[in-house]
A and B are shown apart, each in its own frame.
Chain A
Amino acid sequence: MHILVQQLINGLILGAIYGLIAIGYTMVYGIIGMINFAHGEIYMIGAYLCAIFLALSAAFGIDSLVIALLIVLVGTVVITSLYGFSVERVAYRPLRGHGRLAPLISAIGMSLVLQNYVQLSQGARDQAVPALFSGVFRSGTGDDFVQITHLQLLIVMVTIVSMAVLTWIIAKTPLGRACRATQQDRTMANLLGINTDWTISLVFVIGAAMAAVAGILITLNFGSFNFFIGFVAGIKAFTAAVLGGIGSLPGAMLGGIILGLSESLFAGLVNTDYKDVFAFGLLVSVLIFRPTGLLGRPEVEKI
């Protein structure tokens, strides 16, 4: 029984990881209707920056774990946000209004540029970060226990909290109103005095910041990373976002959890070989019956 519970927990953690990265995809799509394929690479850059800042903290002789993590958090989020901002300015803004295809190709191109840039400048090998968190919560007796490590619990909490905070921002704050207005009718929003360019840039920056946080947490959790993790994580997170309804923040969380649970449970109860087949098969079946995803808004034809 405890094995089943543990598999559920594994699925939840995996789902939280997918959800955390899916936030970026869903927010960008929500505001300008474009899939930012370079988002996975922003996450990968966050992972590298985390390792770099950890190494810098160690080099400067910082003993306190809390201070080192603070440096890592601030440094990574700031620089990754800069990356997110620049990618938008360089690759997407010039192509706004030129249809849907051009920005898409530009995004894929940007993704390849970032991958190769990191591969060339940081080397192609797997890199490791030291295991900083070894605490674990265990419940049960003797060998039959169920566990979640401190870091895994942190990942789940951060995902839920950021999802809640961002949903509140979109619904209740002036910034959120500007985002919704820009998404509904960009020209009208401009006429009404909303600086849509800045709003869109801000959304990209928030997405990049979330990707940075994801990069830090996931890298500390697994301990290793390389230049290619963005591609793999990006596909799964994008799938989670679509499954839950792209454009909807709670949808990203829901999609992530469903994807994570289906992968974990299938791997645990059936076999590991075909877990991806099962997970993506599930995606296809959901989309057949609900093309806009589970929590997605049906496309309304604007007259």
Chain B
Amino acid sequence: MKRIAIWTLAALAAALLALTGCTKKEQAGEGTIKIGIAGPITGPYATFGEQLVKGTELLAERINAAGGINGRTIEIVQGDDQCDPKQARSVANRMVSDKVIAVVGHFCSSSTIPASEVYSENNLLMITPASTNPQVTERNLSTVFRTCFRDDQQGNYAGDYIANTLKPKAVAIIHDKDTYGQGLADATRARLKDAHGIEAKLYEGVTRGDKDFNSLVTKMKGLGIDIVYFGGLHSEAALIVRQMREQGMNATTFMSGDGVATDEFAQLAGDSSQGALNTFAADPSRLDSAKSVVDAFRAKNYEPVGFTLYSYAAAEVIVAALQANGASPDGKALGAWLHGNSVNTVLGPVEWDDKGDPKVAPLGIWEWQKGADGKFHSVQIK
């Protein structure tokens, strides 16, 4: 009796395995084109994941409504890495086994870098709309591209602004010990030192997930810091600026990078977000090329802040490359095509240098201000 049961089970298992094999073969040739979107869909940084997903999904909708790529519809496959490098790797592996043709992602540079190695090994094109650490494109991987700026550019821009416009007496540079945060803080610090001869009076790292930064704030108060530059994300930035104002550091300017380019920063910091500055890409929603897309987002009750339009552009780039190359999943071929061609996107025409960075990536300074509706908005001031 037992023997028969075991053999039946084995036969069933074999049959099931064979069936899964069948479905996979179907999807490889005809059928939908799978484009992956990877980022922090859940987790503390999900606000950015939402920007990425909304951007790519709208593009997919519009392309599908216009007939798809060579008649085939785009299917979006989401991968959640929670901004964790270990999960990023498994998301990348799953994208590969799900036969995704190209990937928009990831978000955190510390996730994008390990994931890009997996994509590169499997010849999958990856375009990141938001990972700004220079290392992403410095490793000679031909399948890796960006639609956003790099942190060395961002650091230079921030350093110049601090030195020329803010003219500080004492600068504190704080980071969150992460690839992105520390990378950006280091770039700004280097620019201040090398190009302007300004030494940061304080250079320290805080831990992501910590809530109490009062000892750091007290130390900065004691050193008479008048400009705080923070390399990191909005959760820590909001708490630091809030505790700064609570301890009476009202005249100190708080400046950060693209990690606070989300309304959640203003939500968490409350009134303390008034006057906070950050570097970010020059507002793409002001460009003519973006008008119809911004209107489409607004019609869906979504304001395309932060990286939304960069994600949209990344998806546009993938679609353009696929359309020109017969929807081939060959990452290297698609990459080579991108190096030699410019693509018209919502950000305007984008061309890449041989590392995979866009040749033109204009930056700007944004300030958080209280609007007439009583809520805080980020407004480009330069």
Binding site for B on A (CB under 8 A): 3, 6-7, 10-11, 13-14, 17, 119, 123-126, 128, 130-131, 136, 138, 143, 145, 147, 149, 218, 222-224, 226, 228-229, 232, 263-265, 267-268, 271-273, 275-276
Contact = CB atoms under 8 A, between A and B. Distances in A.
B207 A124 contact: no
B204 to A, nearest CB: 5
Contact of B215 (A7, A124, A226, A276): A7
Contacts of A124: 42-44, 46
Contacts of A11: 215
Interface centre among B43, B211, B216, B222 (most CB of A within 10 A): B211
Given A147-B248, A272-B206, A276-B207, A6 B268 contact: no
Contact of A3 (B204, B219, B239, B267): B219
Interface in B28-72: 42-44, 46-47
Interface string B252-267: 0000000000001001
Nearest to A129: B270
B292 interface: no
Nearest to A130: B270
A153 to B, nearest CB: 13
Interface string B197-223: 000000011110111101110110110
Contacts of B235: 126, 224, 226
A271 B264 contact: no
Contact of B209 (A123, A218, A232): A232
B215 A264 contact: yes
13 contacts: A3-B219, A3-B222, A7-B218, A10-B215, A123-B46, A124-B42, A128-B270, A130-B270, A136-B246, A224-B268, A267-B216, A272-B205, A272-B216
B117 interface: no
A125 B216 contact: no
Contact of A126 (B44, B210, B214): B44
A10 B268 contact: no
Interface centre among B211, B215, B247 (most CB of A within 10 A): B215
A10 B214 contact: yes
A222 B205 contact: no
A275 B177 CA distance: 13
A131 B212 CA distance: 16
Contacts of B216: 267-268, 272
A124 B238 CA distance: 17
Contacts of B267: 128
B248 A145 contact: yes
Nearest to B271: A131
B214 A14 contact: yes
Given A3-B219, A125-B44, A125-B264, 14 more contacts: A3-B221, A7-B218, A10-B214, A14-B214, A119-B42, A138-B248, A223-B270, A226-B44, A229-B211, A232-B209, A264-B215, A272-B206, A273-B177, A275-B215
B242 interface: yes
Interface string B158-202: 000000000000000000010000000000000000000000000
B70 to A, nearest CB: 37
A267 B46 CA distance: 30
A166 to B, nearest CB: 25
Given A149-B246, A224-B239, A268-B219, A128 B214 contact: no
A224 B46 contact: no
Interface string B271-290: 10000000000000000000
Given A124-B46, A125-B47, A224-B239, A272 B211 contact: no
A90 B94 CA distance: 36
A291 B206 CA distance: 30
A222 B177 CA distance: 22
Sorted nearest first, the 8 A-B pairs with minimum C-beta distance are A3-B222, A267-B215, A124-B42, A264-B215, A10-B214, A273-B205, A268-B215, A272-B204
Given A10-B214, A128-B270, A224 B238 contact: yes
Contacts of A272: 204-206, 215-216
